[in-house]
Structure 1
Amino acid sequence: MNLMDWFEKGIPLDEYIEKMEENKENVKHIQSSFQIQKEEASFLTGLQAEKLKVIVLTEDWCGDAMLNVPILLETALHAGMEVRFLYRDENLELMDQYLTNGTSRAIPIFIFIDEQGEEKAVWGPRAPALQELVNSKRSGLPPRDHEEFNDKQKEMYRELQEAYLTEKELWQEVYGSIKTSLAERLF
């Protein structure tokens, strides 16, 4: 299948949100609270001219998707990009073409395509500043075979989720990273 076929197979936004079971309210909260600055108008107008579509490889349970997807959705809304969603675990043939570091099925992955279905840019799974935050938190975990590892890891995930939901600077980091990826490939 080519990328346009994958896009056509994807779930439209309303259907994706409706089917969400784990992070629906959090996604809605971030999207309704995130604002793109007025000085971004010329960049967004340039994106509109590209007439891009976006394939999002994701899963509802993913904390990174909970943060990144609403930032993408708000960007797409202002740039006239249609977004479709594919569940990672049901679409491994495509996912395995976009592995992080060549080995990891990390999500979300945003694949930006033109009207002919040609890949124009890829983004994901995290903005560099968020990767640094995650790495920092992980460095404080005990070894995997330690009896407290699972509890400490769950605590780390809770802390990250709280930061993702409340620290608006992180939202701007995600937007800036997506913008940089698109600008490098398109303009």
Structure 2
Amino acid sequence: MKISIAKALFNSHSYLEYRKLASDLLQDEKSTGPVQSEELTHYSSLNDTRMKRLDKTIKVSDAIVQKLKGLEENYIWLVISEGWCGDAAQLLPVFNKMALASEGKIDMKIVLRDENEELMNLFLTNKGKAIPKLIVINKELGMALGHWGPRPKGASDLITDYKKEHGSIDEEAKANLQLWYLHDKGESSQLEILDMMLDLDAVKN
């Protein structure tokens, strides 16, 4: 696993680099990843607009900021994403704001799922390549300690319940999910991730 993580980190992007990469591809009517289609480009364009808004509006509470700054160890958040992923567009701005709020305790790096299959296969969700996936790495040891994603519990429950009732995920389900994120304002994700970080930080590695 450490080799897969090292390879991924070598080819990783900062948050700003990732945003520029996705934005530059859109100028050529493309999305990230090897598969190109009008649908994926459309989703990528929506996500670019979403992320611009969230970069301005997402807030991290003072209580969470203090706990992030108080982490004993230093960490890397290695995030697996793609520009066309709706969940990633909602969550990466949250991850970024939390990492910045930690004042150096957390360094966030992003890799593209379809360029890092070896890494993705280590962090499947129900045998699927669901993203985004946030992998917590001890910076000194280069060791993965835990992971989170692809959605906060409330969002996951919404999709699970919809699928049980309707049999599949359609555009209505996707719209309901985006509304859930809009109302939640990133708060559920922040609390879940903070709890994970505090638990990991309490274990002496």
Report the counterpart of residue 39 of structure 1 in structure 2. Answer: 63
Report the counterpart of residue 144 of structure 2 in structure 1. Answer: 119
State whether residues 58 and 108 of structure 1, in contact with CA within 8 Å, keep that contact through their aligned partners in structure 2. Answer: yes
Deviation at 1:158? 2.3
> What is the number of equivalent residue pairs in this alignment?
175
Q: Which structure 2 segments of 5+ residues have no match? A: 27-43
Report the counterpart of residue 138 of structure 1 in structure 2. Answer: 163
Report the counterpart of residue 69 of structure 1 in structure 2. Answer: 92
| Aligned mates of 1:153, 1:2 — CA distance in 2 | 34
Report the counterpart of residue 174 of structure 1 in structure 2. Answer: 189
State whether residues 64 and 194 of structure 2, in contact with CA within 8 Å, keep that contact through their aligned partners in structure 1. Answer: no
Report the counterpart of residue 199 of structure 2 in structure 1. Answer: 184
State whether residues 2 and 117 of structure 1, in contact with CA within 8 Å, keep that contact through their aligned partners in structure 2. Answer: no
State whether residues 79 and 132 of structure 2, in contact with CA within 8 Å, keep that contact through their aligned partners in structure 1. Answer: yes
2:73 is equivalent to residue 57 of structure 1: no
Report the counterpart of residue 94 of structure 1 in structure 2. Answer: 119
State whether residues 120 and 186 of structure 1, in contact with CA within 8 Å, keep that contact through their aligned partners in structure 2. Answer: no
Deviation at 1:2? 4.2
Q: Secondary structure at the match of 1:125?
A: coil
Give the residue type in structure 2 aligned to 1:124: G
Report the RMSD for the aligned CA atoms in angstroms. 1.9
Query: 1:79-108: per-residue Cα shift (whole Å, max 9, x none)?
Result: 12222211111211110000113x111111
Q: Give % identity.
A: 26
Deviation at 1:41? 3.4
**TM-score of the aligned structures, taking structure 1 as reference length:** 0.84
- Map of 1:98-113 to 2, 5 A cutoff? 98-101=123-126, 103-113=127-137
Give the residue type in structure 1 aligned to 2:124: L
**TM-score of the aligned structures, taking structure 2 as reference length:** 0.77
Q: Which structure 1 segments of 5+ residues have no match? A: 145-151
Q: Secondary structure at the match of 1:50?
A: coil
